[in-house]
Amino acid sequence: MPEFDYEYFKKAVFDLTKIDLNAYKEKQMKRRIDTLITKHGISGYDKYVQVLKNDPAMFEEFVNYLTINVSEFYRNPEQWELLDKDVFPELIKKFGKHLKIWSAACSTGDEPYSLVMALSRHLPLSQIHIIATDIDKQVIAKAKVGLYSEKSIASVPADLKAKFFTKVGASYQISEEVKKCVEFKQHNLLKDSYETDCHLIVCRNVLIYFTEEAKDAVFEKFSKSIVSGGCLFIGSTEQIIGYKAMGYYRKNSFFYGKE
């Protein structure tokens, strides 16, 4: 598939979806897309664009495939322990009980629901409200259903698992009372306007797919979204290189405070 063809494809995808493929690492993303095109036996990017324009099911599949969803509850449990022992108590002490928390690129809901459960150790559910956003409508729909595999919830602390999940066949259903604490919205980190006055933003293991420039732009916007004294929680594979210039200080490897 010729390179100029891929340039055309990136532009066509942006017109269709407002997803900017230039912000993703090219080799990785191109390989994923080529695999998908080959799977359907389509010859070339131009033909695939026509299919995406005319076939809603293929369009949904493409967006779903593009937005890489590897998600699990309490991913890296030791970091959630820090959140529980240090970060939440500090934020509640500073800002009171009505915290504004944004789970950005929330995928299938594992992260925002984990936040609700973790915060329920400190606050009643009636005082917990998490804003959860993702670019992909399909994963938001899955998140709202709230049905998960045993593997997906393996790291949830036993007491919270017993309290907030019901076994349904081989799967586990998250409780309605936890669902009520989360407000899901569609949002594109590279193009849409950001939440403001956040006490905590959680965005983990998503930006690894972005170019350095796109990553920095997102971290800068997060910094503007977080109130002074607030906090950003990132993934175990990520770091913010020029964090001081963006107004952060390093609390530890995965938590950055806002000056």
The predicted pLDDT at position 255 comes to 96
Of the two residues 196 and 172, the one the predictor is more confident about is 196
In the sheet that 165-168 helps form, which strands lie side by side, from edge to edge? 147-148, 171-174, 165-168
Contact assessment for residue 232 and residue 248, using Cβ atoms and an 8 Å cutoff: yes
As annotated, the residues of the chain forming the CATH 3.40.50.150 domain(s) are: 77-258
For residue 61, what is the enclosing H or E element? helix 56-66
50-81 as b/e: b if 16+ CB within 10 A: eebeeeeebeebbbebbbbbebbbbbbeebbe
CA distance 146 to 165: 10
Of the two residues 27 and 128, the one the predictor is more confident about is 128
Position 4 pLDDT exceeds 70 = no
At residue 39, what are phi and psi to the nearest 5 degrees?
Answer: -55, -35
The model carries a pTM of 0.80
Q: Calculate mean pLDDT across residues 145-155.
A: 89
Q: In sequence order, what DSSP letters do the residues of 115-167 get, joined into one string?
A: HHHHHTTTS-GGG--EEEEES-HHHHHHHHHTEE-TTTTTTS-HHHHHHHEEE
At residue 195, what are phi and psi to the nearest 5 degrees?
Answer: -60, 155
pLDDT tens by residue, 84-100: 999 999 999 999 999 99
Answer whether CATH 3.40.50.150 is correct for domain 77-258: yes
Position 168 pLDDT exceeds 90 = no
The pair of structure tokens assigned to 37 is: 């095109």
pLDDT tens by residue, 200-249: 999 998 888 889 999 999 999 999 999 999 999 999 888 899 999 999 99
